[in-house]
Amino acid sequence: MSEVSKKQKKELNIIRRMIELYCHGHKHSEKGLCKDCLVLLEYANQRILSCPISISKTYCSSCKIHCYKTEMRDRIRTVMKYSGPRMMVHNPILTLEHAIVTIKTKCSKK
């Protein structure tokens, strides 16, 4: 397997933090992640690391290829809907960086 890029590391970090925030916020587990959240994290990591266009895309939400299975896509959306607003409190710098990249990407597509 090829070396993990800086962009992929950042994306892996963001998704891990969002899933941790969701899992702990819903009190699934007192320590670490519950089994379901761990499965989701491993699945998301595998998708990110095996992405064929990771060099040219920003985040999965802006990708034209939908490689997540429907069930997992629904689960990750639920996590993001919960964790997204809370990330500003828990990880403000990471959240602002993510927002800036997302806005730049949307503006450049117009």
Looking up tokens 């969701």 gives 22
Unique residue bearing structure tokens 């597509």: 109
* Residues contacting residue 32 through CB under 8 Å, at least 6 positions apart: 38
Note the pLDDT of residue 31.
Answer: 82
- Alpha-carbon distance 97 to 19, whole Å? 18
CA-based nearest residue to 25, from 74, 72, 69, 89: 89
Helices assigned H by DSSP within 1-110: 6-25, 35-49, 70-90, 92-109
- Whole-model pTM? 0.83
Rounded-to-integer distance, Cα 29 and Cα 7, Å? 29
Average pLDDT per consecutive 10 residues, the chain (110 residues; last block may be shorter):
74 93 88 93 93 68 77 94 92 86 73
Token pair recorded at residue 26 = 């819903």
